[in-house]
Structure formats: structure tokens, C-alpha cells
Chains A and B, each alone.
Chain A
Amino acid sequence: MNQLAIPLERHCLDNGLKIVLSQDSTVPIVAVNIWYGVGSRNELPGHTGFAHLFEHMMFQGSKHVPKNKHFELIERAGGTLNATTWFDRTNYFETVPSRDLELALWLESDRMGWMLPAMDQEKLDNQRDVVKNEKRQRYDNQPYGDWDQRLQALIYPKDHPYHHPVIGSVEDLDAATLEDVAAFFGTYYVPNNAVLTIAGDFDESQVMDLVQRYFGEIEAGAPIPPLPGDSCLEPIIGDTVREHVFAEVPLARVIMGFRIPPYSSEDFAVAEVSRALLGMGRASRLYRALVRERRVAKGVVTYAFPLLTNASMLLTWATGYPDSTPEQLEAALTEEIEALVEARQSEVDRAIALTETDLVRALEHVGERANLLSMFNLYFDDPDRLNHEIDRLRAVTVEQIRDFAASQLGSDNRAVLVYEPKRKS
């Protein structure tokens, strides 16, 4: 494939708000996407889950937008919207027919500038209940639902910002007050901590006037405070750490995680490609060995988390059959992961080919374009990185992958989380 050429333009308002524009009028729709540089890593002890609860509050109205009006107006326009909270950031996004770009800018700017006047205790209590239900539905009432918090706790020490889960604890959610909402807003939801991307069908001669009109009068905030907790971390765990959980789960599952270089490091690309060799597609090592040939696992999952602070994590998991033991799963995973020290060039080529297809497919959506541009701008101050992603991965050599396997995927850097079905008495 030829070089990607997603067009983009960058601006910055006086209040520090960064803007990325990417025009494409093939389809008359436009995506508006804002990334705020705040996530669960910014939460203080006793306030876990707050960044996510706050995200819910952002939909409860602002000075000029009554409760539920945000949803109502976007849906009425024929648009879709949502928001997500993660370790390093929180994003808000809508895709609308292009004639309603101004509506989306009005809504996003009103809550960036005028959220607090609309807050009250009733809304906080309501959304706290909604979030508790989200926690029950997605984590507490699901087999294996607590895996991520257990794995994070194994890979990151107690005072590291990635030690606790994004959803937080019920006790901390219960303790959240309206004052916390105001303080969080004033600290982090400021234009100088945000990137606004507009991608799709818009009028290039007018769009910056609109952005200036809606966001220009929002005042800049103070510089963003440093991360809480101790974010010093060794590049490897130093040992094999493990937790064995007997739970109400149907099948044994072994989750193996490793500390890897942070997303901001050049070496993250090596981790990404290594991950693809292990688990991307059905020709990948883990699928081929564990699922197809040895038939010890019914399925495998792999993922390299793109995290910014000190170290990210690479995750692999294998779910067994009714008669597989956790020991078998762990042994097979270990063996195949360690064998990556013999990676071959043909595997790298295949991983790159699949990654290319997946990236182009993602870019078919203006919403996804906008999301990636916001991310690259917020994380790396470089939205054009989108056009060079594949080159970055292509530059990874098979020798680098072998070295990575030897230095990062061994027994001195392994977190093993085992789920075993509770024995019926």
C-alpha cells in the first residue's frame, strides 16, 4: 500500500486549546472529538473511580443545556455520541450529519466552559447509582469480571497510578461530593488540557471561526498538577508474581501479563509487533499452537496496552476446555511466549500486512480518524503520526523482537493470574 495521506491541519487557541482538523467530504457527516488529559492515573487515594464518575456528570447538563438535552439534541440531529474514561485520558465524541457541526461545538464548549452551574446533589446521586450499576453489570456480575484490577495490582505496585482500576471502588464512589466535582473540573477540564479534533465534512473557510466563537472565550486553567503517587518503576517486575483465584467461572483461564516500555517510548513499537506475532490472526503463534494444534485452549487473547506512565503492559490470556488444567494452560503459554526468541521475518511481514488492513478499515470511520488524531496530538503533540503509524511498525526488525522476547517476556517479568472453577462441594 502507498503512504497514507489523511489530510490534517493544526491550530491552537489563546486559551491553550489544541485543534486538529481533517477534511473529507465523501459522506456528509462530521466527527467532533475531544480528549482531556485526565484519567484514572490522576486520581488521589480515596478517590478511585472519580474520573469515570465525572465523565457521567459531563452528560448531566451545563449552564445553557438542561439535563438530557445533550443526548436529545444529538439524537434528534441523527447523530451518535459517547464518552470513555481510561488510565491516561477521557474522551468525548459525537458524529453528526455535517449540517449540525455547530450544534456539536455548542454542546462540547458549553460543558467545557460552563458545566458547574448545572451541577446539583440530585444529579450526582443519580449518576452514582448509574455507575454502581455499570460496575455490577460489567465487573461484579460477570465471570472473570475482576481480572483487570487483579492484573493491574500484580503488575504495578500499590502507590503507582495504574495500580487501581478505572471503575474504582464503591466506597470511594460513595465518598464523592459536589466539591470534588468542582475541584476536578477546575483542575483538569480546562482548554489547556484538551485536544479538539473535527474530522469529516466541514467548510474549511469557516470552521476555525466556529471553533473560536464557541471555545475562544473559555478561560485557560492553571498548569496541570503532577501525577499523584510514586510513578518510579523498574522496567521489569523482577520476578514471577501470581494470584490463583477460585471463582464462579465456567472454564479455567490463565492471564499472563508483562511490563513493557511505555507508549511514549520508541520501543513500544517492538512490543506491538511482538504482540501481533503472538496473537493477531489465526496464523499467530498462540492461536496456532494452543488452539489449533495442541487444543489446550478454546481461545486466546493478546493486547499491548498503550499506556504512558513508566511502563505499559502486554497481556495474553488462554481460556481452557472443561478438562484443561490451569497448569497445562500456563505451561503452554509460557513455552510459546518464550519461543518468540526464534521469531521469523515471514511472521513479521504477516503481522504488518494485517495491521495495515485493520488500520485502513478503522480510518473508514471519521469518528475513528478523529479519535486517533486527538490521541496522537494529546500524547505526542504529533497528529501526523497517524500517517506514519505503519512505517513505525515496519521499521521493527526481527532481531528487535527476539531481543524483546528475551528481555521482557521471561520469568523475571511475569504476572500470572489464574482463574479456576470453584469446586462444587
Chain B
Amino acid sequence: MSLLDRTQPPASGEIRQFDFPEVQTGALSNGLDLKICVLPRLPIVSVNLFLRAGEGSLVEGRAGTAVLTGDALEGGTLKRNGSSLAEALEGIGARLGVSTGWEGTSISVSVLADRLPEAFALLAEVTLEPDFPSVEVDRVREQQLAEIRQRSMDPSALASDEVSRRFYAEGLPYARPQVGTESSISSVTRDQIRGYAEACYRPGSGGLIIVGDVDPEQIKSLSSEYFGSWIGAPSAVDNFRVDAQTRERRVWILDRPGSVQSEVRLGHVGVARTTPNYLPLSIGNLLLGGTFTSRLNLNLRERNGFTYGVRSRFSFRSQPGPFQVSTAVGNEVTASAVREILSELESLVVDGVTREEVDAARDYAAGVFGLHLETAGQIASRLNQILVYGLPDDYYHLYRDNIRSVSTEEVTSAVKAHIRPDEVQVVIVGDAESISGSVDALGLGPLEVV
């Protein structure tokens, strides 16, 4: 056998062009958008109904109502109670999921293609004829309160909630946990849940997405049959203005005595999904802390062994979500880790980015995009993004070309515009006694143990 020269990585083969699959778009007469994508690879279908019923449009005292309403949908319909509903769905192998976010509520079903008509009927029943029996509403509320208690002892959840509280001005939706607070949830009644669904589960500005092994004509007729006579538009929309709590750099240590590790979050208010800088900023974030070989991970994990992993992230929402670096590190290296993170942010905005880094991050983003077009659920969630943020219909068809055309200069100017080391809030959940001295000695700004 001739020995192979192993010293160089093999060259890539020819690129196989692959487009985002074709999508038929339309709308029912009630304003409900319809997006159908045929994916015949396996006999499975993903259906996703997006309703503009999100936590972002709720006042502080009602926080958590959208989430609770979504969760209570499984409690039963006018035709059957919760257990019978579960039996009807699962009897045909249908997985029902409800997820509620800042922008809206997604009610989704995954089912084998031959059971789609029954699943469609059940999806409509759940959405249009929910019953919200008191006993089920009470249960879902108690579950949510127990969940909040559970979060209060989970260091990572505590850190997320503390980030929201410290980044955003008091009273803004993003300043609170998405699931609401103990005080806002405790008093929610069945009537409020029903009222919320009545007002906000409306077809206007929502959409129905069907991806999988389907016949588009059948989908159109099923959609009209089950959702065609539903009318109205949601009564609330989130159009609040986002303000940071402060522009002064500050350090917050949430004391969790006995912690063997510190959960560290460092960042500030970021930018909305609709920013024209979305692509360059995404590339900038990838090379800062969005991949394994990012600046932050190579420094904190591979060079210093401080952590199992570190990431940075812009949460792009309809309004500016947080930008944050997150990691968990040992008590004794907490201060050093914070120092290293801040240095990385500083050198990023002072020196900008290199062409090599941008090339690598662009190649990663363009390549990995194709890896996420495998499943019906993945395609449906992309189409959902188009609905939620009002992106153009050809957004994902052009995505790769647009990613590849981002320049080094654009990335540098985007990170300079949107990352501000002088304004970061440093949030640490950990054992204050063992870490506060060394963190304070970094002299980053006023430190408060809470």
C-alpha cells in the first residue's frame, strides 16, 4: 500500500449548490398568512400556527399571562377534557407543542403524513375552541409558580433573570423573566386566561406554516375548512421603547453562598432583529464567542482552562434584546475570567477584526446554514422567522449570498457600533465571600452584592 501524505488537510470538493426549498405563499381571506413547503424525503409533516400573542405586549402586572394561556391550551377543548385531548392527539402519534415568546405564541404539531387531516382538525380545535377549565388553569398556574421557585435555585436561570433586571430600565417587558413573576402570576384567573385568548388568538398578523410530505392543494383546502371562518386581529402589539437601566459600568454579585462555581454574564442592551447590521453583527459575534474556535473560547477554555465553555450572543428580538457573554468558572478564577472577557471585548472594538477571522466566520455561517435545512421542523422555524420579523419572502433564498458578501470593514464597524465595553453590566451569581474581593479589585466600577 502506498503511504498517504497526511500532512495537509484534503481540499474541499466541488460545492453542490443547494437552495432553500421552494415555498408557496398565500393568505386566507381572514388575513392569516399561509406558507407551504413540500419536503417529500420522509413521511412526516410539521405544522406551525403563529399568533401575535406574546409576552412583549403585556403590562408588568399581567406578565406571564401569554405563557400561561399557551400552556393551558392542553387543558381541554369544548369537545373534550385534557386527558381525552391528549389521547386523541397521541393516539394518532401527533406531538403538540406550544411555545410562547416575547413576540407571539406558536402552536405546532408534528405528525406522520397519513394522519395529517386528523391532526389539522385537532390543531384547530385546540386553538379555536379552548375551554380552559378552572382546574386545569389552576394546575398550570401552580406549575408555573413551582417553576419560578425552581429557577430561583438554578444558578444559570438566576443569572439570566439578573441580566434582564440589570440591563433594562425598570418596568420594561425585557427587564423581567419571560415566564412572569410570582406576584404577576399568582393572581391570574381563568377569566383572564379566556379573555386573553379571546382577544389575542386571532388570525390577523399571524400565519400558518406547513412543511413536509404534503399535497399543497390538500393543505389549502384543509386550511380554509378549519381556519377560514376565524376572524379578527390581536388587540395588543409590542411597541414599547427600550432603554438601558444605566450607561455606567457596574458589577452585580448575586450571592449564592456555597457555590463552587460562578455563573458570569457580561453585556448590555443589544439591538433589534430589524437592524441593517444584522449580518455583519452576527459574523462579528461568531468570531468573538459564537463558535468553538472563537476568541473567547480559545482564551478562556483552551488557553486558560477556566471553563467548560464560553459563548457570546446577541438576542435579536423585535426590540433590542440583550447582548451578553456567558460562562461558568471556578471561584478562584472568577476575577481573572471577567478580566479576560472584558479585554477581549476591548480589543475587538479597538482593533477591529481581521480578514482571516471574517472569512472563517462567513464560511462557517454559509456552510452551517445548509445543515439546518434538513428537517421539516427546521424549515418551518425559518419560515416562522419570516413571519415574526416581517422579513422578505426571499430572505433565506438570498441568505448565503448575503452572508458571503459581508466585508471585514462592515464587521468592524458593526461591532464598534454595538459592543460597548465601557457600558457593560457584569452580573455574577456565586459565593460572594470568596469572589467579591478579587472582582472588586479589578476596579471595573461600583460593585454591589445583592
Q: Which residues in A have some Cβ–Cβ distance to B below 8 Å?
A: 1-2, 24, 26-29, 63-64, 67-68, 71-73, 75-80, 95-103, 105-107, 110, 114, 125-134, 136-138, 140-143, 201, 213-214, 216-217, 248-251, 281-283, 287-288, 291-293, 295, 298-299, 319, 321-322, 346, 349-350, 353-354, 356-358, 360-361, 363-366
Contacts and interface: CB of A to CB of B under 8 A. Distances in A.
A322 B146 contact: yes
B86 A281 contact: yes
A61 to B, nearest CB: 11
A76 B374 contact: no
Contact of B371 (A80, A128, A292, A350): A80
Contact of A78 (B7, B13, B363): B363
Given A73-B9, A136-B261, A250-B150, A67 B302 contact: yes
Contacts of B363: 76-78
Given A71-B292, A142-B154, A322-B149, A102 B330 contact: no
Contacts of B153: 143, 248-250
Interface of B: 1, 3-4, 6-7, 9-16, 18, 41-44, 74, 82-83, 86-87, 89-95, 110-112, 114, 136, 139, 142-143, 145-147, 149-150, 152-155, 258-261, 291-293, 298, 301-303, 305-308, 328-330, 360, 363-371, 373-377
Contact of B370 (A29, A110, A298, A321): A29
Given A79-B371, A295-B139, A126 B16 contact: no
A356 B305 contact: no
A28 B150 CA distance: 43
Contacts of A71: 291-293
5 contacts: A68-B302, A76-B360, A99-B16, A293-B83, A354-B90
Contacts of B293: 68, 71-72, 75
Contact of B364 (A76, A127, A140, A350): A76
Lowest 3 CB-CB distances: which A-B pairs, in order? A78-B367, A129-B305, A353-B93
Contact of B86 (A99, A141, A283): A283
A103 B261 contact: no
Contacts of B41: 24, 26, 364
Nearest to A289: B83
A263 B44 CA distance: 28
A356 B111 CA distance: 9
Contact of B83 (A68, A95, A138, A283): A283
Contacts, number: 224
A201 B82 CA distance: 44
Contacts of A358: 95
B367 A97 contact: yes
A164 to B, nearest CB: 20
Interface centre among B6, B89, B307, B364 (most CB of A within 10 A): B6
Given A295-B142, A321-B146, A365 B375 contact: yes
Contact of B6 (A106, A251, A364): A106
B95 A106 contact: no
Contacts of B146: 251, 298, 319, 321-322
A357 B4 contact: no
Given A71-B293, A78-B367, A140-B260, A27 B110 contact: no
Contacts of B12: 77, 99-100, 103
Nearest to A14: B1
A137 B261 contact: yes
A136 B377 CA distance: 34
A379 to B, nearest CB: 24
A357 B302 contact: no
B154 A143 contact: yes
B374 A141 contact: no
B260 A136 contact: yes
A360 B1 contact: no
Contacts of B136: 292
B87 A75 contact: no
A350 B6 contact: no
A25 B34 CA distance: 29
Given A130-B301, A217-B1, A365-B375, A349 B6 contact: no
A2 B146 CA distance: 43
Contact of A364 (B1, B111, B306, B375): B375
Contacts of B373: 27
A33 to B, nearest CB: 14
A291 B146 CA distance: 13
A103 B149 CA distance: 48
Contacts of B94: 357
Nearest to B5: A64
B10 A361 contact: no
A1 B112 contact: yes
Given A106-B9, A354-B90, A357-B94, A137 B74 contact: no
Contact of B261 (A128, A140, A249): A140
Nearest to A125: B305
B132 to A, nearest CB: 14
A83 B222 CA distance: 43
B307 A133 contact: yes
Contacts of B149: 250-251, 322
A415 B336 CA distance: 43
B4 A281 contact: no
Nearest to B84: A283
Contacts of A114: 6
Contacts of B4: 213-214, 217
Contact of A360 (B6, B43, B329): B43
B47 to A, nearest CB: 13
B112 A360 contact: yes
Contacts of A133: 261, 305-308, 328-330
